[in-house]
Chain A
Amino acid sequence: MSIGCIYALVALGFVLIYKATEVVNFAQGELMMLGAFLAYTFISILGWNYWVGAAASIFCMFVIGNFVDRIFLRPVLGQPQFSIVMVTIGFGYMARSGAGMIPGWGTETYAISTPFSSEGMSLVPESIGSLVISQTDLSVIIATVLLCAILYAFFTHTRLGIAMQASSQNQLAAYYMGIPVKAVFSMIWGISAAVAAAAGILLAPTTLIDTSMGFIGLKAFPAAVLGGFGSIPGAVVGGVIIGIIETLAGFYLPPGFKNVAAYIVLLVVLVVRPQGLFGQKTGKRV
């Protein structure tokens, strides 16, 4: 369930960027990794308070996301979608190996000390039944729900959010309407990177931090597709479903299925219902 929420958060990052810029960011997992490393720097190396450190790293990632868009993506704006995707793949390579080169980060694994204990905590009174959840997992779930609610409200109720939706539908028309499309894109990348950082910080207690933790981003693809690319609630539901399927596959199916269960689901979804659970059916323009 909580791993599903992490998938959901990473998928949320994908969806945000896809929704606004129609780019699938293959470096989402790497952004998450950078966020986790920043948090590690602030909290463990510099010894800041957990909350301050987390907030600082989320803010830093917002700035970094902005810069990624400025430096890497703006020059290819308007090029075919595929070349933009390749740019994000290239950035992923750079981020992954770059993080290994920064002194103090390196290629080892690290942990962040959190205020949440990993001990079990029963959700319902013992008399009803046993439903035990660790504080860490609970923190993940609560944070996911909160972030989703905020983002959903942001997209539907604020001027900036609506501007983002507009520029996602038609860049040129949005530009004519006076929306600074490029700035909006940078903003979206910032937000997405910040969400990724949140995911990284929440994930840190469960999987520890290392430079290859970005690969979890690959698992978020099935989540995003299952929910329908471009739908915020879809990403969350998809993430949770993928998390549950994976756990169940680990229990009931022979070994090996756990790793690929998510991808088999992905293939089935793409064949049966390509628009996903919550996606809109779309045509393609000539």
Chain B
Amino acid sequence: MRFLFKTDYNQDIRIAKHSGYYWSYGLLLLIVIAAPYFLEGYYIGQMTQLFIIAMAGVGLMLLAGYTGLVSLGHAAFFGIGAYTEAVLTSNGVPLPFMEEPVIFPFVISMPLAAIFAALAGVVIGIPVLRLTGIYLAIATFAFALVIEEILSRWESVTNGYTGLLVESLYVGDTELTDGAPFYFLSLGLLVLVILISINLLRSPTGRAMMAIRDSEVSAQSMGVNLARVKTTAFALSAGITGLAGALFAHKLGFLSPESFTVFQSLELLVLVVVGGIGSLHGAIFGAIFVLALPQGLAILKDYLPTAIAETPGMEPFIFGLILVLVIIFEPYGIYGRWLKIKHYFQMFPVYKKATFKRQKAYMKSERLK
């Protein structure tokens, strides 16, 4: 067990809590950087997808895990990012003062995709600021359904259900959106996003977000500008998710509104919850879970009797079951379990179960008559 004696304030807000962090995360970074050199193409693709989904997870985590605003419509931002990227990079956009339609290079189009999604986040964020809890969730849910309908009906831009082809990107002669280059692009952006999030969370804005999560009224009394912080959180979260969407567009290569339904939103939410709400690690763990579950089940199917293995709907059933079990038995998700295991070894002979014991509580009403 390592004891941290904090002697000044700067120590408290350092990104790495102690030198061990450099070793463990440095090693992790080395492994993921080295991975493409000894993995097969299929696994590189899977890892890339993992990074993209984890990025979207980080986006939602900022909102749901740190600001306490639950969004049931994050697939909408994901979709906006993806479609923006696809439209900007493929056919070119006719702009005023330009003779020919402009085809944006990805260095510009990806930030633009993020900004567009962030703007959508502000648009939905401002009117729903007055809402809390379940009303907010329902409002974002309705918003996502409307966006889904727009994506499928605005055929001149999105091509409707026929789908939209996404062009591959090239830098010089290397194709950027496939194999190892895309892997590094996604990894780099994910690391960037995580660093931005960590930095954000130790800044006044991040602290204000957490204060709002813990108690809105108290935060307001302490001088937190609720409207501004909430809108910022919405915009950031939507922007990050939009950036992930832009990458996802290239990963898929072909967009149709069916990729951005309510179920995608629910899956993102499940990712956040199962991974461990309220921690950035959780977003990564959750992404691993969401990606690995179907694969694991596919492998498991070979060992099960055919009668069970052939049943349709096995996968969503297990998905739902795991979600329920996680919430009942491990409310902080995979990351919570990881903390417990770590703690067990750190404290080795004297680990107490009670350290992480939950308080019994009666639900406090949100209504006030």
A107 interface residue (CB < 8 Å to B): yes
Which residues from chain B contact A169 at a C-beta distance below 8 Å? Answer: 365, 367, 369
B138 interface residue (CB < 8 Å to A): yes
Segment from A37-45, A57-65, A256-264 that makes contact with B? A256-264
The answer to whether A101 and B311 have CB atoms under 8 Å apart is yes
A187 to chain B, nearest CB (A): 17
The answer to whether A171 and B362 have CB atoms under 8 Å apart is yes
- Secondary structure dominating the interface of A: helix
The answer to whether A85 and B137 have CB atoms under 8 Å apart is yes
Which residues from chain A contact B319 at a C-beta distance below 8 Å? Answer: 90, 93
Q: Report A255-286 CB contacts with B as 1/0, cut-off 8 Å.
A: 11001100110110011001000001011111
Once bound together, how far apart are the Cα atoms of A93 and B262, in whole Å? 13
A177 interface residue (CB < 8 Å to B): no
Once bound together, how far apart are the Cα atoms of A56 and B336, in whole Å? 44
Q: Report B355-369 CB contacts with A as 1/0, cut-off 8 Å.
A: 000001111111111
The answer to whether A285 and B368 have CB atoms under 8 Å apart is yes
Once bound together, how far apart are the Cα atoms of A81 and B262, in whole Å? 20
Segment from A69-77, A117-125, A137-145, A197-205 that makes contact with B? A69-77
Given A75-B328, A260-B146, A94–B321 Cβ distance below 8 Å?
A: yes
Once bound together, how far apart are the Cα atoms of A262 and B300, in whole Å? 42
The answer to whether B316 and A93 have CB atoms under 8 Å apart is yes
Q: Report A225-238 CB contacts with B as 1/0, cut-off 8 Å.
A: 10001100000000
Q: Report B102-136 CB contacts with A as 1/0, cut-off 8 Å.
A: 00000000000000000000000001101111110
The answer to whether A81 and B320 have CB atoms under 8 Å apart is no
The answer to whether B316 and A96 have CB atoms under 8 Å apart is yes
A180 interface residue (CB < 8 Å to B): no
The answer to whether B317 and A98 have CB atoms under 8 Å apart is yes
CB within 8 Å of A: which of B324-369?
A: 324, 327-328, 331, 360-369
A105 to chain B, nearest CB (A): 11
Minimum CB distance partner of B137 in chain A: A85
Which residues from chain B contact A92 at a C-beta distance below 8 Å? Answer: 320
B153 interface residue (CB < 8 Å to A): yes
Minimum CB distance partner of B68 in chain A: A82
CB within 8 Å of B: which of A143-179?
A: 168-172, 175
The answer to whether B132 and A284 have CB atoms under 8 Å apart is yes
CB within 8 Å of A: which of B289-326?
A: 311-317, 319-324
Minimum CB distance partner of A215 in chain B: B262
The answer to whether B327 and A222 have CB atoms under 8 Å apart is no
A250 interface residue (CB < 8 Å to B): no
Once bound together, how far apart are the Cα atoms of A52 and B197, in whole Å? 59
B142 interface residue (CB < 8 Å to A): yes
Minimum CB distance partner of B138 in chain A: A221
The answer to whether B363 and A171 have CB atoms under 8 Å apart is yes
B221 to chain A, nearest CB (A): 9
Q: Report B194-238 CB contacts with A as 1/0, cut-off 8 Å.
A: 000000000000000000000111100000000000000000000
Task: Give 15 pairs: A residue, B residue, CB < 8 Å, sorted on A.
Answer: A24-B137, A72-B324, A77-B362, A79-B363, A81-B134, A93-B323, A94-B321, A97-B320, A101-B317, A170-B365, A229-B135, A267-B143, A271-B130, A283-B368, A285-B368
The 4 lowest CB-CB distance pairs between A and B, nearest first, are A93-B320, A97-B313, A90-B323, A94-B320
| B interface residue numbers (CB < 8 A to A) | 64, 70, 127-128, 130-135, 137-139, 141-143, 145-146, 149, 152-153, 215-218, 262, 266, 269-270, 273, 311-317, 319-324, 327-328, 331, 360-369
Known: A97-B315, A284-B216, A284-B368. 14 other contacts (CB 8 A): A82-B70, A86-B273, A87-B323, A93-B317, A101-B311, A175-B362, A181-B362, A230-B367, A260-B149, A266-B138, A270-B142, A271-B130, A286-B215, A286-B217
